[in-house]
Each structure stands twice: as structure tokens, then as C-alpha cells.
Structure 1
């Protein structure tokens, strides 16, 4: 019979520290030993010894990676055979992903959606993706769904969580795509190591995912970060949210496309960016004006939260300095000087995959909670 460690003994303390390390990587996903030490409060030497023991016991998996341009080893919970799913909805497509329970992506697919497609169709496409890698959907343990905005609780009139749970027999967590991208950038992208920061998504609308004290902040009703619905003109156009003059009515894709229709004909947001990068003056002007308006709104966020880093992503961010320069100038002009000087503006680095990575993180958190 195994004797239990006496409370307060050296061995019981070691068991508690092992459990702490496992809890940290289960909650936050793959981390370096330095990140584990910072998050857990344990010393780097203690973490190093514990990770070695956990690896020998088969309780964690180690994998090579790069952090801040340097080689690193990531520590993740050992896979137990379960599966995690991510569904990230865009305006006319859905990005699907399957990961194992150590959060490693096994398959992903972006597929178009027509206005007539429903969630049953999406579920079929997900089942096809699972079949392509011989994944057993009976082992699906949790699903995370990203939607463009928290103020639209349903997608195309269907109740996301209830429908997906009914079809796939797994619990579902819902969040905005900006929040998911913030999680993805926090774990593997431009927000790594950032204690207070945000992900700014410039796409069909403008939204943010807020990181406070190293954690995603959603607010009391889950609507934190909806900067696109900040009123910038009380007498402006009606926004789909019901208010007037929201930022999105001036810098959302519909507004940008409409402003160019008379001179350029029908364009997509990607077309506008591409033409701007090829020195089309009209498209450049539209993007620069959008950057200035966003910068004024972001200045308010900087004044309130005083973040270290703002990572900018989304289709409009692919214009690079064309949008970042006027955004930065407007931010510097409108924010408190000390707050503006303290914040670094970066391009997001995880790209479109940031939302999927964040979805996997959220699904894992749901499974482990």
C-alpha cells in the first residue's frame, strides 16, 4: 500500500507543485518553462525539475518552437486521445479546425457559405474534415465558435450552441472572432508575454480583444471590446446595432466599398487593399482616412486601459503602413501623451490562423473547467 505524503512534507509540496504546473499548461496551453515559472510563481529551477519529471511520467509533451526570435521548448499536457473543435464564422465563409486535447491542430479547412447554407450544412462539412484524417467524432470533448460580433447572438437565425451540441454531442463555447484572435496572438503571436494589451481587428467591422492582467477580458455581459460601436457622430448613419454614427458606419467594409463604387465600380475589401498597395490614389485615400478615424477611437481605449501593445490584424491590416501610419498619428494626437508614448503598435503575426488557435484554446479551457 502506498503511504500518502504527510501534509507540509517535502513530497506533498512537490506533488502540489507538479499539480500546479499541469494546471497552468492545461489552462493556458503550450508554454515555455520561463512562462510557466512566471504564471505559476514557481522558480525557474523548480519548474525545470518538475517538467523533467512530468515528461518522464508521460504527463506532458515537449515540442520545439520559437519565442521572440529564439529557440524554445513548449510544454503541453499529454494528449489523452480527445478532440477539440473550432468553428470560426466570417461574413461568407467558415474556418473549421480539429485539434487533439494538447491543442495541436490536426486539420483545418476554410469553406465558403452561401446565404442559404445553415448549420446542418456546416456540421456536414466538419464531419467530412474529420473523416479525411480518420478522426473519431465520438471523442469530441469541446467546441469553440467564433462569430464576428457579440451583439449578434445568433448566426443566420439559428442558435449556435444548441444546434452544434445537438449534432455533435459536445459542449459549446461562443466568443467573438476578435477575442479568439486575441487569445491566439497571446499564446503564439504578437501578444506573447504581454500583460496588458489588445488585438485590434480591422475587417468587415472594427473590434478588439482585450488582454488585462494576462487574461482575456470580456466584461460583465460579454460585449467588452466592441469599439466599432463607439459613437463618433450622434447624427450619423444608422448602424445595424440601432444606434447612429458608430465607428463601423464609417470604416466598416460596407462604408469603404460604398465610397469607391462611383469611381471604381464593385470592389471587395481585399480589392481595395490590393489596389492601394499598387498606388491607386482613391483606394489609398480611403484606407488612410479609415486609419485616422480608427486611431481617434483607439486613443480613447489607450486613455482608459493604458495597454503595452496593440496588435493590429484583419484584412485592412494587410495594407501595412498605409493604415498603421495614419492610425498612429491620430492616436498620438488624441491620446494622453504619456499613454500614447507607452503603447507599441504592432502588426499581428498569427494571421488568419490566430482565430483558430484561439478557438482551440477556448475549447480546451471549456473541457478543463
Structure 2
């Protein structure tokens, strides 16, 4: 029991001491397409690298005012390219292809501001089975992800093209690009988007904190304004199952609706409301006026969290021919990541539900930590509102 108590304090220490940033993910993007020119050995591309990553790696903010301006980026363009270029390598039959850069630009995606480098890829032969090796930031940041999107010709028809999206990680840095594939690798698409769904729920601290705020009091009932432990694991599971199911249904609805462009909300306001939901859920543990209605809280705010997931998915450039497959796979990944958290947390807190350590110390401290984090995110995101 003492070991479990130590584990609980470590768990809730992690909650209250976690980084205050959420959704500022280290991510780069590489998009390639066949050149419209007659030369079959050429393609054009755009390389997106986050300004936050450039600032951390190169220190672009020379005046130290906390903001990276376009002038500061432009003045360092040659240095940025010299730093990034060795991390990107294309080869064809062991012969290296040439990357010719154009003038860089700035682009805003849902995940933040990016430095964009347009370039031309030239290979000795027609673009078949090009090997890509990508090493940008992987050795400095193990959480970095690179999204690679490239066109392929359907059934060899150059006029009928679709896109394939793949995810490169520190453990998987190479990719073979085949512009003449008859069809996309369906299994590869499913695998990549499931992994992305799991990954984004695990790195989305605001989503995790909201889920934890729903789980932490889930081993108790409110009887005469007091906490009363569930007598059986089945009772606690039923409570948690209802709450988590409502959250799942809600964010699945809006994830789908937003991805299909049926409903579009400003992402800055979405992130603001998500932060509010975290603060409210934490406060509801300290003052449990909505304990029995946690399922309703989960559903209402789950609708908003779904828009947050959709903003991440929109940056992944879903392949047209496998749009629904990619959407379903990403959502499945989110649910699997969420399930892993539930399976990790629920048995532990159930085993400690009758301990004063949990009821009088760990739970209130965690709740207050979640409330503070949500409040901080609200203040931070309010400054970004238009």
C-alpha cells in the first residue's frame, strides 16, 4: 500500500508540476507534388518548420522582446537553410537528388506559425521509388514529428492524382516515395492516423487534464454532501464508463463535423473554452455541485474538445481517396489513447479510495492543480483572442 501511495503522489505531482504549455507541439511538414513541366525527374515541394522550433534551435529573437518577427526570420534565412538542409536527403538508386530552394515565406497553420521553404527536387530518372531520409530535430527532441505528404498517380494516370500522408518519427526516419503507385497503402494510412490519434491525446495536456478531472472523483458517490466510496469496482466502472462514453460520443460528433467542414469555429475561441472546461472540471472536484452530472459536463465540453482534435487533424492533410479511413483511424487512435489513460488511472484510484491519503490530500491537491492549469491556459489564450 505504501508503494501505491508513493505512486499516487508522483502521479499528482506530475499533474500539478506539468509544463504549462498545451498543444505547442514540435512538428514539421513536408509536402511534395509532381512538377507540371515535362521533365519527369522533377517535383516541387514546401517544407514547413515551426517558428518555435527555429527560435529554440537558433535564437531568432535577437531583440529579446519575446516575439519573432518576419524581419528577424528574413535576416537569418541563409543560416536557417544551412542549419536545416543537411537534415533532408533524397536519393534515387543510391544517387543523391538535388534540392534547390526558393525564397522562404511565413505560413500560419492551426498548430502555429511556420517558416516555409519552397524548393524544387531534381532526380536523374523519372520519380519512382525515391528514398527520403529525414533527421530534422529528431536527435534534439524525441517528441518531434514530421508529416510528409506527396502525390501519386492513380493507376498510372498522371491526370488522376491523390495524396499520401506519412508520419516520420525518431524511430522511423526514412520513407520510400513512389509517385506511380496504383493506390495508396490502405494499411499504412490506418496505422499512421491511429498512431497520430494516440499521440495527440497523450501530448494534449488540456484534454488529459479534463479527462483526469472526470476520473479522479469517479470512485466516489455524493451522499449527504459527503464523499462515499463505491463498494465494488463494478460500481466505479459503471460511473466512469458513462462519463467517458459521453465525452467520447461528444468529441467524435464534432471531430467529424468539423473535419467535414459542416461546422467551423474559430480555433482561438475553441482553445479558450477548452481551457475553461479544464478549470471548471477541477473546481467541480473541490466544490462538487455537478458530481452526479459529470456525464453532462463531459458531453457538453466534449463537443468543444472535438473541435480541438479537428484542428490538429486539419493540419495532417487527409488523403482525398482515403478521407473517411483517415478520419476514422485518427478518431480510433484518440479513443485508444484515452482508454489507456483510463486503464492506468482507474484501478489505482479505486484501490486507494478508502485511504485518507487519497481522499483528503491527493485528490484535493490534484483538483487544485488542474484548476490552476486551466486558469493559466485561459489567461494565456485570452491574450491571443482577436
| Higher helix content, 1 or 2 | 2
Higher relative contact order (CA 8 A, sep 6+): 2
Normalised TM-score (structure 1): 0.28
Normalised TM-score (structure 2): 0.28
Structure ID, larger Rg: 2
